[in-house]
A and B are shown apart, each in its own frame.
Chain A
Amino acid sequence: MGDLIYAIELLTTGVFTGLMYSMVALGFVLIFKASSVFNYAQGAMTLFAALTVVGLMPHLGLAGSLLATVAVMCVMAVVAERIVFRPLMGASQLTIFMGTVGFASILEGAAQIVWGTKPQGLKLDIPVEPLKFGELLVSRQDLFAAAVAGVFVGALVWFFRNTRTGLALRAIADDPAAAQVVGIKLRRVWAIAWALAGAIAIAAGVLWGNRIGVHFAMSLIALKALPVLIIGGIDSVAGVIVAGMIVGAAEALGEGFIGTYIGGGVQDVMAYIVALLFLMFRPSGLFGQSTILRV
């Protein structure tokens, strides 16, 4: 019985952590859906957003600094569109990808210049003691993070299906030329996509900052998003959510059960093992659109 409770606890913790990976992965999905480009800068955007929130908090309070950061990220979106997309319009995807790598460096540099290089603490006002469901203990922090992730996912799915801009984003991803001909303005829609990715970066940055603190390793959580994207399919909102939960659960269970036998550290590789299995057997991910290229 104790084992079962332990397993369920690991599973819930894992799934909640996984949803936080999904949050980061969502930013990638958004930019990919809008422009078929893998946005390397998403991790740096997350760091930049978290640092901005922390930096402004003493002056504006949490709500104020969140609002101000939204504005900052919108400006960032317009800048990204200007310096990455507009000059590279029509270039190959690899070229644009390199553009996003460069943009990531700029963001990381700018963040250091403005906010310094010291790790910062970011504490949300959530009680530490866990909720009890019978014998099961669930962290309030995790629950809150999962709820935020859920709201974002719901909003995004709704946005892609039910708004003029959401539809335009999908159209541009499928066929930019045809999208332009029906009057969709590429630049504007791209800027909106980057702004939304910025909003996701804020949420992910705050949630992760609350958990691990805000420091430069944060831009590396992008690496955790990678297996999530492989498993879920980079063009699927639903896919990365499920994938995030799978990765989180696999990590927690792996650490809890296998880790005790081989001395821990399993957590760090589980995500990649699962991703590797997917690459071998289901390369387009759980819900990703399979594309068969004729060579």
Chain B
Amino acid sequence: MTPQVAGPVLRATGIHLSFGGVAALSGVDFFVNSGEILSIIGPNGAGKTSLLNVISGVFRVSHGEISFEGRDLARSPAEDLARMGIARTFQNLALFKGMTVEENVLVGRHALMSSGVLACGAWWGKASGEEATHRARVAEILKFLGLWELRHARADTLAYGLQKRVELGRAMAVEPRLLLLDEPTAGMSHAEKSEFMSYVLDLNRTRRITIILIEHDMGVVMKMSDRIVVLDHGVKIAEGVPDEIVENRDVIHAYLGEQ
């Protein structure tokens, strides 16, 4: 099940993040191997989303180093993320509500479009070669996700599960080498969940996209993950392959409390 591992693409060392006096993350170390699915799990408030936010530049670390493909990530603003080859989705719906499905995905191409003198790169009518490329890629993504028929619908008129899929499409449009998914299936029905995760697996297996996944559903986590990192109260309490994690006493303790 584990794809060929070509060493870590992302490495975080001694990550500290505090808000005022409250430590959200203290001394977290972890790495992600190229081509794997790494899940981050932990009870509510364990610091999972905070960890994703420091990786994606939404929060700045208080101390620590994060490198992605050898480049410093801890001090890069969120605006540079896409250009470095990283995309993410958000825990809450973060679609551009006033836009169509197609436009939402097209915005994902922003960093890949050349800015030119006017910073416009207008596309209409008989388009330039560049525009045609972007359009074609967006069409491909929409078809892959089964959203082609809905491309002209306004994003906020879609059902929740479909909106999450549009968000995945927008992240795909970035052409990331690393994809960060923050509880993508929270609030989905069982059927929606397995459908969504089959897309994620496909991206990982056939397109070799490395994935960091935050997920609450343990069934999903155990089935999909190559490795798992467990956080509790901002501290990493375990790390390993799924079989090791289910056996780990600290993890059981964190989830179930004192027996």
Contacts and interface: CB of A to CB of B under 8 A. Distances in A.
Interface stretch (A71-79, A142-150, A161-169): A161-169
Contact of B96 (A170, A185, A188, A235): A170
Chain B binding surface SS class: loop
A183 interface: yes
Interface stretch (B1-9, B97-105, B199-207, B226-234): B97-105
A252 B90 CA distance: 51
Given A181-B82, A182-B108, A182-B110, A164 B121 contact: yes
A135 interface: no
Contact of A183 (B82, B94, B98): B82
Contacts, number: 94
A289 B87 CA distance: 29
B123 interface: yes
Chain A binding surface SS class: helix
Interface in B88-132: 88, 90, 94-99, 103, 106-108, 110-111, 113, 115, 119-124
A119 B242 CA distance: 78
Given A178-B95, A289-B98, A184 B122 contact: no
B95 A192 contact: no
Contacts of A268: none
Contacts of A3: none
A183 B95 contact: no
Nearest to B173: A182
A103 B122 CA distance: 32
Most chain B CB atoms below 10 A, which of A183, A185, A192, A289: A183
A189 to B, nearest CB: 9
A77 to B, nearest CB: 13
Contacts of B113: 164
A129 interface: no
B79 A164 contact: no
Nearest to A192: B119
B154 to A, nearest CB: 10
Most chain A CB atoms below 10 A, which of B87, B122, B124: B122
B210 interface: no
B119 A188 contact: yes
Interface residues of A, number: 28
Interface in A197-212: none
Contact of A165 (B83, B88, B106, B120): B120
A289 B97 CA distance: 10
A159 to B, nearest CB: 8
A156 to B, nearest CB: 13
Interface string B138-174: 0000000000000000000000000000000010011
B58 interface: yes
Contact of B107 (A162, A179, A185, A289): A179
A125 interface: no
B238 interface: no
Contacts of B173: 182
B107 A171 contact: yes
B56 interface: yes
Given A175-B96, A177-B94, A162 B122 contact: yes
A96 to B, nearest CB: 20
B58 A164 contact: no
A252 B81 CA distance: 54
Contacts of B90: 177-178
A4 to B, nearest CB: 42
Given A173-B98, A178-B170, A185-B79, 8 more contacts: A162-B123, A177-B58, A177-B78, A178-B94, A178-B95, A182-B107, A182-B173, A183-B80
Interface of A: 158-159, 162-168, 170-171, 173-175, 177-186, 188, 192, 235, 289
13 contacts: A163-B120, A167-B106, A167-B110, A171-B99, A175-B95, A178-B170, A179-B107, A180-B81, A182-B170, A182-B174, A183-B79, A183-B110, A192-B119
